[in-house]
Structure 1
């Protein structure tokens, strides 16, 4: 299964928590992961470090709060069920991976600002995914195809009315850094092969369904922890390299707790 243009959650399975008795981290040097892209204008090598510094600053202003403490009709299980359906909807429509991450972030941001009835939550989720799909410039999924598939549950008018409501609540601000933005960079720093890349995305997608993870950790920590957890699952000799520490900005101890939660799929 590949996550280049789609993400597949795959079967749920139990993975035991990280054990403490293991070999110590191998000391190594930092690899320049941008060196080979210097001549590629699309890689914007001269700006990429500043860009990710900005993402780190911006993620703090869009951190998801503990909205379940004020919601009266929905709980963590309800949210998990709806997010799981959105993942499947995203797969069927072959939406880009970044659309899924942004869509669920929009859903959570809206729930931070507005009380939502239990029966209304799926509509909010579907609409958040539509907004994210429209926002991504490179989206190749026609909006009408989206409406056709959603018609089994809601009318086009239902979705468009909810779209206006969500956008007003969010102040039309959609440029949020999600875990996907950091995953792209951190996977490169991990020098991941296809197996590892798919494992990292699997863990990151699973985090979207875990309310405790989403509200407890910023996107950059979730992305870094997905890499760390993937290294553990695939039994890599080095779980956290100097290169990963340099480009993520986190030491091993900062990602272990979140990694343990991600591995309890």
Structure 2
């Protein structure tokens, strides 16, 4: 199977690569046209639009306080805010790192600019004026398909699901699919298990069909159906695979959209100026969450926040005033309640400490190469109690962050 073509998003999502080494995905080519406001009006259109008055330039800032249950940003509002010049905001924030009133005023403007720069660095947007709208849609779209409970229908078990997801990770690597395809496939699998009655004997067929559907949505090159049947030792025919595909599409009502937690993780890591090792460690922890059925009930933004916080504490890099300021700004993009983050960190800590002794070791082997900086073999990942202690330190830092209120109690409460 040839590697994915020009829309392969793996170079797009690898922050350690330079701008010249990245390739723009096919879905961003539609944004390469010039912005509408830069077009020159023809002479025949100048007179027709002369009576229209130009609206004053508006700045977009976040509406506070946030209205979602776990502090999820749902909308933005227009404000004519010209309190500080662009060059003075970051200087004032660095000088007054522990001054809560100043940070509360400067925070939304800095979030606006940092998110635009992050999306430009990742090649996700051509016109930065749409950055806030895109991020708002990402936050809203993750609420479309949520799970009330992590309990699987009988006779399926958590161990059976973990084995299937581990096999899907291996197949995903064989076909060199993008990371979005893997996260979408697991999401479709979790939804299909709750919408379609499937026996254990057909569970492998269901998982491969979900990966095939995710590839149809995210990839530009797909394997032949005969190749998929060969991967299952020809236990299922081509007709059985196509019938299962129709069942899944009808059961899911042809709703195949999913905003993966990887997007939130990479955006936050870019704004926080995280190093390559921190990013790879967070990606490893995030992929391990796919094997845990308990993580299906959490929102993608919550999983990304917990994985990145735990990765920073595991590596224990020397902090600087600039890095701590950038981290405070990044974590204010998506804030969650502390019990939610604590629960996710507990699940990740147990999973990463026991992964070497389990049969499901595909992610461990995947992140033990030089391309991933050997993050899965880091010595700090061997002990679950040590990871839990590091997770508690990460939550304490988030709770004491100036942009998050600088006080105890619930994380991310704005006034």
**TM-score tier (shorter):** 0.7 to 0.9
Retained in 1: the 8 A contact 2:185–2:211? yes
Q: Residue 259 of structure 1 aligns with which residue? A: 345
Retained in 2: the 8 A contact 1:58–1:176? yes
Displacement after TM superposition at 1:157 (Å): 2.1
- For the aligned residue pairs, the C-alpha RMSD in angstroms reads 3.0
| Higher RCO (Cα < 8 Å, 6 or more apart) | 1
Question: 2: CA distance between counterparts of 1:148 and 1:131?
Answer: 15
User: For this pair of structures, how many residues does the alignment match?
Assistant: 241
Question: 1: CA distance between counterparts of 2:223 and 2:11?
Answer: 16
> Superposition pairs for residues 213-224 of structure 1, below 5 Å?
213-215=295-297, 217-224=298-305
TM-score by length of 2: 0.52
> Superposition pairs for residues 127-146 of structure 1, below 5 Å?
127-136=209-218, 138-144=219-225, 146=227
> Superposition pairs for residues 167-186 of structure 1, below 5 Å?
167-186=249-268
Question: 2: CA distance between counterparts of 1:165 and 1:242?
Answer: 46
Q: Residue 12 of structure 1 aligns with which residue? A: none
Displacement after TM superposition at 1:204 (Å): 0.8
Which structure has the bigger radius of gyration?
Answer: 2
1:102-147 deviation digits (Å, cap 9, x = unpaired): 00000001112122211111111111000000111x4444445752
Q: Residue 327 of structure 2 aligns with which residue? A: 241
Please say which of residues 96-105 and 113-122 is displaced more in the overlay. 113-122
Q: Residue 62 of structure 2 aligns with which residue? A: none
Q: Secondary structure at the match of 1:68?
A: coil
Structure 2 residue 310 is matched with structure 1 residue 229: yes
Structure 2 residue 90 is matched with structure 1 residue 4: no
**Cα separation, partners in 2 of 1:59 and 1:111, compared to 1, 3 Å:** same
Displacement after TM superposition at 1:67 (Å): 5.8
Question: 1: CA distance between counterparts of 2:141 and 2:237?
Answer: 35
Q: Aligned to 2:146, which of 63, 80, 99?
A: 63
1:137-193 deviation digits (Å, cap 9, x = unpaired): x44444457526435243322221111110111111111222233233223223233
Q: Aligned to 1:51, which of 119, 134, 142?
A: 134
Q: Aligned to 1:91, which of 148, 173, 181?
A: 173
Question: 1: CA distance between counterparts of 2:137 and 2:117?
Answer: 21
Q: Secondary structure at the match of 2:154?
A: coil
Q: Secondary structure at the match of 2:143?
A: helix
Q: Residue 158 of structure 2 aligns with which residue? A: 76
Gaps of 5+ in 1: 8-25
Question: 2: CA distance between counterparts of 1:84 and 1:142?
Answer: 20
1:42-69 deviation digits (Å, cap 9, x = unpaired): 4442222222222222222211232635
Q: Residue 104 of structure 1 aligns with which residue? A: 186
Retained in 2: the 8 A contact 1:245–1:251? no
TM-score by length of 1: 0.79
**Cα separation, partners in 2 of 1:109 and 1:249, compared to 1, 3 Å:** same
Displacement after TM superposition at 1:84 (Å): 0.8
Q: Secondary structure at the match of 2:278?
A: helix
**Cα separation, partners in 2 of 1:85 and 1:191, compared to 1, 3 Å:** same
> Superposition pairs for residues 118-133 of structure 1, below 5 Å?
118-133=200-215
